[in-house]
Amino acid sequence: MTTHDLLKTTREPLVRVAGLTVDFGSVRAVDGLSFTLEAGGALAVVGESGSGKSASAYALLGLHRGTGARVGGTVEVAGTDVNAADDAGLRALRGAKAAMVFQDPLSSLDPYYPVGDQIAEVHRVHHRVSRKAARARAVEVLDRVGIPDAARRSRLRPHEFSGGMRQRALIAMALACEPQLIVADEPTTALDVTVQAQILDLLHTLRQETGMGLLLVTHDVGVAAESVDDVLVMRDGREVERGPVARVLGSPREAYTKELLAAVPRVETRRVVPVPSPRAEEASVPLLEAVGLRREFGRGNGKVAAVGGVSLTVHAGRTLGIVGESGSGKTTLGRMLVRLLDPTAGRLRYGGTEIGSLSEKELRPFRRELQMVFQDPVASLNPRRSVGESVADPLRAAGRATRGASGTGWAHSWSASGSTRRTSSATRTSSAADSASASGSPAPWPPSRRSSSATNRSPRSTSPPRPRWSRSSPNSSASWVSAWSSSPTTSPWSGRSATGSR
């Protein structure tokens, strides 16, 4: 009888959480949370950003240890008392019994090692197999999560993967030892809808075949509805509502759950009803124009055309969306549009000026008007610097402010982007509190606030404080190009693992 069969027979819960509290300094992120998860069961934890979802998930694997956070209550996973376990006990738990899929794949994977080696290391640490067997297992799980040509790609490093492929690699790493529990923190965020369906189907199949439990942290109510048996709704670190997914999402009892469901975007509705009125004619010269942009990677017969002959125009005040599956070339195109990558062929004009062949020195004036917001704020923000310093950098680089005077600029950015913290009554805090928040590291911030901070670095170099063109989600009256569903980011600043291998 396997461990999974034994758990099913005895009906002991795979996860038991009672009175869980997590404190970061004077802030209580999780307040008295209690729940159980049976072997083979699936529970989704949903709620707005900052509600305590990820803090609760991290507590299941003891990932708050050594961070300065204070964790209280009882957390038992696969028979291990997580809060009482020593370092050796946690290493035995992570990877073999429970594994975590993080939301930010680039900062979770080591940039120096091939992806296959990192997955193989997890298998070797917990199963004491040969290098050859571990590498074969790495290729197997990469293929299982939908990585094409898995044997070849296992030798690539993380920066050579698209955003969606990196997320799949993290899921493969979690599956390497077939743990009893997978804790997934927004596992499908960077995936296109086709691959997202594959991953959700895979997790469902593994649950059925092995009795693996799944704790899913997600903001996507649709993903929760398709993937789990039960839903736990959180707000301000506390449980709001919990029950079977059909009942909670179909007939919610609590007002906050109803508000959360009402906030789900729907294609058939518009937030703003247009009022017919005369409109000024668009300028004859587009703000941004690309003609036949092409980008190739590799040499000789191994060349791959990531982007082949794309043309587009963006007029002032307009928004263009670029949609495609992971690896379709969206991000490569976006990086060419802001000259972070040089096109192999084609022309690029900004305001009628040819910028495709300009040197870096000649590009400097245009850099103040063409900005890019990267997908992953964790990898885009330097954890060794305060958020305020990172936001103020573009002002100083553009010569708009000195080090001492740039505080006003980022304070304006803070207010404009909505990066201020919320109280329980959903009101904004004082500017003094916002300034104190901005003076801290981005590490403890929830993903949405880190994303707002990364966005702040883009529109602040010109006066008035916004660029004329930027790439990512619209946040001002500038022209925008937005790309979905995945895109690479800047260099990773840190790495972490919940597999027990690093």
- Does residue 316 share a domain with residue 234? no
Task: Answer yes or no: do 41 and 145 share one domain.
Answer: yes
Other beta carbons less than 10 A from residue 321's beta carbon: 11
Q: What domain count does the chain have?
A: 2
Report the pLDDT value the prediction gives residue 426, as an integer from 0 to 100.
36
Residue 483 pLDDT > 80, yes or no? no
Least confident of 155-159, 346-350, 462-466: 462-466
Tell me, yes or no, whether 427 lies in a domain. no
Check whether 98 has a pLDDT greater than 70: yes
The span from the CA of 368 to the CA of 5, in Å, is 61
Per the domain annotation, does 66 fall within a domain? yes
What is the predicted pLDDT for the residue at 486?
A: 39
| 422 pLDDT above the threshold of 50 | no
Average pLDDT on 19-37 reads 94
Same domain, 107 and 181: yes
Asked, for residue 147, whether it belongs to a domain, the answer is yes
Instruction: Check whether residue 251 and residue 314 sit in a common domain.
Output: no
In the numeric block, which tokens belong to residue 182? 């997978």
pLDDT for position 409: 52
Whether 270 maps to a domain, the answer reads: no
Class of residue 217 by CB neighbours under 10 A (exposed 0-12, middle 13-18, buried 19+): buried
pLDDT digits (tens, 9 = 90+) for 432-477: 444 445 555 555 555 555 555 555 555 444 443 345 556 554 444 4
- Residue 311 belongs to domain with CATH number: 3.40.50.300
Based on the fold, state whether residues 293 and 239 are members of the same structural domain. Answer: no
- Same domain? For 242 and 390 the reply is no
Query: Is pLDDT of 374 > 60?
Result: yes
**Could you tell me which residues are beta bridge partners of residue 35?**
17
User: Which residues, other chains included, contact 490 with Cβ-Cβ below 8 Å and sequence gap of 6+?
Assistant: 374, 376, 379, 380
- Confirm if 106 and 190 have CB atoms less than 8 A apart: no
Is residue 495 included in any domain, yes or no?
A: no
Q: Which two tokens stand for residue 199?
A: 């991953």
Q: Are 186 and 321 in a shared domain?
A: no
Confidence of residue 141 (pLDDT cuts 50, 70, 90): very high
* Secondary structure class of 476 (helix, strand, coil): coil
Residues 84, 199: one domain? yes
Q: Do residues 230 and 331 share a domain? A: no
How many Å apart are CA 137 and CA 118, to the nearest integer? Answer: 11
The structure tokens listed for 138 are: 């790495």
Residue 7: predicted pLDDT: 43
Does 395 score more than 70 pLDDT?
Answer: yes
Mean pLDDT of the chain: 78
Residues 249 and 312 grouped into a single domain: no
Cβ burial, residue 348 (10 Å; 0-12/13-18/19+): buried
- Residue 105 lies in domain: 3-262
> For residues 108 and 498, what is the distance between their CA atoms, to the nearest angstrom?
9
On whether the pTM is more than 0.85, the answer is no
pLDDT tens digit string along 58-76?
999 999 998 889 999 999 9
- The candidate with the shortest Cα–Cα distance to 337, out of 298, 369, 378, is 369
Cα separation of 111 and 183, whole Å?
A: 23
- Strand residue runs (E) in 190-316: 213-217, 230-235, 238-244, 288-297, 304-314
Q: Give the Cα separation of 31 and 238 in Å (integer).
A: 5
The helix/strand/coil state of 461 is coil
Please report the sign of the dihedral spanned by the C-alpha atoms of residue 363, residue 365, residue 370, residue 374: positive
Strand partners, 288: 314, 350
- How many distinct helices (H) and strands (E) make up the chain? 19, 18
Q: Is the dihedral of CA 90, 92, 98, 99 positive or negative?
A: positive
Is residue 234 assigned to a domain?
yes
Q: Are 172 and 195 in contact (CB under 8 A)?
A: no
pLDDT confidence tier of residue 431, bands split at 50, 70 and 90: very low
Q: How far apart are CA 14 and CA 79, in angstroms?
A: 7
- 315 and 243 in a single domain? The answer is no
The secondary structure of residue 462, as a DSSP letter, is: S
What's the Cα-to-Cα distance from 256 to each of 34, 70, 439, 448, rounded to whole Å? Answer: 19, 28, 32, 19
Q: Do 157 and 80 share a structural domain?
A: yes
For residue 147, which of 159, 135, 164, 130 has the smallest C-alpha distance? 164
Q: How far apart are alpha carbons 446 and 443 in whole angstroms?
A: 8
Helix 387-397 and helix 447-456: axis angle, to 10°?
20
Does residue 489 sit within a domain?
no
Q: Does 232 have pLDDT greater than 90?
A: yes
**Backbone dihedral region for residue 477 (phi beyond 0: left; psi -120 to 50: alpha; all else: beta):** alpha
End-to-end CA distance of the chain: give it in Å, rounded: 31
Q: What is the pLDDT of residue 60?
A: 95
**Does a structural domain hold residue 277?**
no
pLDDT band at 230 (very low <50, low <70, confident <90, very high): very high
Provide the token pair at 81: 């008392």
